[in-house]
Amino acid sequence: MTDLNRRDVLSLAAAGATLAFAAPGWAAAPAAPKRLVVVMLRGAVDGLNVVVPYAEDAYYEARPTIAVPRPGAEDGALALDDHFGLHPALAAAMPLWRDKQLAFVHAARPPDPTRSHFDAQLFVENGTPGKHGTADGWMNRLLAALQGPHGPTEAVAIGPVLPQILHGKLAVSNLPLGPAAAKPLAIDKPEVGGLFDRLYSANDPLGRAWREGRAARTELVAGLPQEEPPPEGGAAPANAFPAQAGRLAHLLTHDDRIRLVFASLGGWDTHVRQGNQTGQLADRLRPLGEGLATLAQGLGPAWNDTVVVVISEFGRTVRENGDGGTDHGHGNAIWLAGGKVNGGRIYGEWPGLATARLYEGRDLAVTTDYRAVLAAVTGRHLGLSDRSLAQLFPGFSPARSDLDKLLA
């Protein structure tokens, strides 16, 4: 049985669950949708060691033990231009840069200057910097602004919980993409699932979550290939992102309904011994670069209709601290990748690392509001109107900048 047939059978079997979404035309979503994948690096990745300003002595003076060496040195930065270099652990992403499908916007973040991870992440997700109480997230508002019909697998959060960025009125899905993602559950059996459908028939938050979950299982999980379980006692990979990216590519190439994807990776809060060209940070960056490359390859032609945004809540101090690490800072780099990204260049105004230019004398200043980057992506790539943009980011209107050229 082909994947498609199998899915049809399962959809039919779960008709009770899917009826609620049988909005006319939903199944006939336009082919080759434009897609946005947001990867959030929770914990504030050290952007100055990701996109390294190797041409500035101030960088090396501020970071005697953790600086990434200049291009040309052993394990040195991979030159992006005559000022910036990429962390060598991200070598897997360099072909994307050379193909002009990878770009960075440096010295960006949400405009609220908080150094609290949790507030800053909330502001990245709710799209209302400085305001805690916003009930929904900007990706759910984005979904509402896109042309319908809408369905619960149109936006997918990878992982067992639903992040703030996707909270909101429109139905969404979440699923972890571990090796056991396609493992059947007892409730997949119609005689069991049907009874639970009746239990969860109410139009309340639990009932809605139930129906969204059923849709995710019948539409998404059913399309994933069954994998051999990892060998008993075998070591789990240090970071599962490349494998997840492969499964995500499979999902996206087999299901045109998915338009928005969110994933998050942790472990970037490197206060101690973060390392330089090797070490803790390098070990976390490597699978991220490999995952991006896997996704680009796995998507094939669909890569041309995909934009990946990699974002973190804020940057880290310019100077290394007493423990070979960095503390909470301000400006950071936002990464953009995709077939139609006008890549191979660094966007944004670079404020430099001269002490007088630093925010509060210690951090990379912010010259780009992260909303301007997302506005460029949603406007140019997803065709969002200025009016819709105002719903995404209330009170924000982007000024003209070089970001207008971010997408081909």
DSSP E strand stretches across 179-297: 260-265
DSSP-based three-state secondary structure for 38: strand
State the number of binding residues for other proteins (CB under 8 A): 62
Min dist CB 16 to other proteins, Å, is: 13
Residue 312 vs 342, nearer CB to other proteins: 312
CA dihedral 93, 263, 350, 73 (to 10 degrees): -30
350 part of the interface to other proteins, by CB under 8 A: no
Q: Is 214 in the site for other proteins (CB under 8 A)?
A: yes
Tell me which H or E stretch contains 399. none
Spell out, one character per residue from 271 to 310, where the chain touches other proteins: x when CB under 8 A holds, - when not. Answer: xx--------------------------------------
Taking CB under 8 A as the rule, does residue 26 contact other proteins? no
Beta carbon of residue 96, minimum distance to other proteins (angstroms, whole number): 28
Which of these ranges, 81-89, 157-165, 289-297, 350-358, lies near other proteins under the rule CB under 8 A?
A: 157-165
Give the single-character DSSP code of 28.
G
Give least dist CB 334 to other proteins, A. 21
> Counting contacts by CB under 8 A, is residue 119 touching other proteins?
yes
Compute the chain's Rg from CA coordinates.
22
Interface with other proteins, residue 175, by CB under 8 A:
yes
Retrieve residue 358's tokens: 């630093």
Nearer to other proteins, 137 or 242 (CB): 137
Instruction: Decide: is 266 part of the binding site for other proteins (CB under 8 A).
Output: yes
Characterize 233-256 residue by residue with b for buried, 16 or more Cβ atoms within 10 angstroms of its Cβ, and e for exposed. Answer: eeeeeebbbbbbbbbbbbbbeebb
Residue 183 identity: K
Between 201 and 278, CB nearer to other proteins: 201
Q: Is the dihedral of CA 361, 364, 368, 370 positive or negative?
A: negative
Beta bridge partners of 264: 40
Helix (H) or strand (E) holding 151: none
Query: Judged by CB under 8 A, does residue 19 bind other proteins?
Result: no
Our CB check for other proteins shows the closer of 142 and 187 to be 187
DSSP letter string, 274-335: --SSSSHHHHHHHHHHHHHHHHHHHHGGGGGGEEEEEEES--B-SS--TTS---B-S-EEEE
Structure tokens at 108: 């960006």
The one-letter amino acid code at 81 reads: D
Q: In whole angstroms, how close is the CB of 290 to other proteins at the nearest point? A: 21
Q: How far is the CB of 159 from other proteins (least distance, A)?
A: 7
Q: Which of 125, 290, 313, 327 binds other proteins (CB under 8 A)?
A: 327
Q: Closer to other proteins by CB, 114 or 391: give it.
A: 114
Give the Cα separation of 59 and 61 in Å (integer): 6
**Interaction site with other proteins (CB under 8 A):** 42-43, 114-119, 152, 157, 159-162, 164, 167, 172-176, 185-187, 192, 195-196, 198-202, 204-207, 209-210, 212-217, 230, 232-236, 266-267, 269, 271-272, 321-323, 325, 327-328, 360
